[in-house]
Amino acid sequence: MSEKNINNHWADIEETGFFWGLKILAFIYNVAGRRACLIVMFPILLVFYLSLTSARSAVREFLNQISINKGSKSPGYWSGFRNFIAFGSAALDKLSAWNGDIKPSQISFPGNMTSLFDLDPEKKGAVLFVSHLGNVEVIRAMASVKQVRPVNVLVHTKHATRFNSLMERFNAKSQLKLIEVTEITPDVAMQLKECISRGEWVVIAADRPPVSERENIVLAPFLGRPAPFALGPYVLAHILEAPVYMVAALRRGSKFEIRWSKLGEKISLPRKKRREAAEIWAAKYAKWLEALALEHPNQWYNFFHFWTQPQD
């Protein structure tokens, strides 16, 4: 991970190191297990925390907003290190999820649900808005392991093909597919609409500004301050005409709690008031995400200045 331009935009953070780091962790995980991985990672995470000043200050900024909203003590220098440690642990959870090592008994769903697919029993297709709060990989993996329904995840990483290859080595039967996109083009929209028509799921992170056309955002109140959210997820949901759910997987000890809420049966954006309508939907999403962030602040993995707007 490089600190280059981390103040300006999350997409400017170098990702090559993360991919190769995950690949090395995968090797250690297969050979020596989770505990050995944690031992190897701890000093690396400490070096990251001490050297990546912008990432450290960004986490502290987030925790400070949490403390303001809770009326609690302001975070100290080491407060954000818990987020770094949790991030490292979450990386191992990715490997565990891909490998099928996370057992159904470790996953708790609300109500009488036994699977996320209970949200869509008739296989009509759905859009899932996820975030970098909690561990989205658990959602992705648990929605595809031992299931016959494909899950298409939109990602902005240039290493999507490599990640797909790495996941296939862990679980060749996984129905999970990463699709690399930097913007929603007509071709991408048509491809995803076909996925929905087959009853598949489309998963997209809705908690970060867009990679391209960075001014193409909507502002929504988050922890007491206006924060930029991408317009793209709402435009895509409008095009796909499918139910939209907000989903997060939060770690509680050795278990994961799946939290979800239906954002809308169908997101409609009138042509003449597209942005205004999107802002209303984004505010609903931000409010849901805010409640979870207040509950689990140390599982926040956005290591950039979240409230920075493009014109800044």
- Summarised one tens digit per residue, pLDDT across range 3-20 is 444 445 544 444 445 556
Cβ–Cβ under 8 Å, residues 144 and 174: yes
Highest mean predicted confidence (pLDDT) among 36-45, 87-96, 107-116, 217-226 = 217-226
* Mean predicted confidence (pLDDT) in 144-149: 60
For residues 257-275, average pLDDT: 93
Question: Exposed (0-12), middle (13-18) or buried (19+): which is 136, by Cβ within 10 Å?
Answer: buried
Q: Please tell me which residue, 65 or 32, carries the higher pLDDT value.
A: 65
pLDDT tens column, 152-190: 888 765 555 565 566 556 555 555 677 777 667 788 889
d(CA 26, CA 311): 40
Confidence of residue 246 (pLDDT cuts 50, 70, 90): very high
Q: Where are the domains of the chain?
A: 10-299
Give the separation between CA 26 and CA 8, rounded to whole angstroms. Answer: 31
Q: CA angle at residue 258 from 236 to 34, to 5 degrees?
A: 110
Q: Which residue has the higher pLDDT, 143 or 249?
A: 249
Q: What is the pTM of this model?
A: 0.86
**Range from 5-14, 170-179, 227-236, 275-284 carrying the lowest mean pLDDT:** 5-14
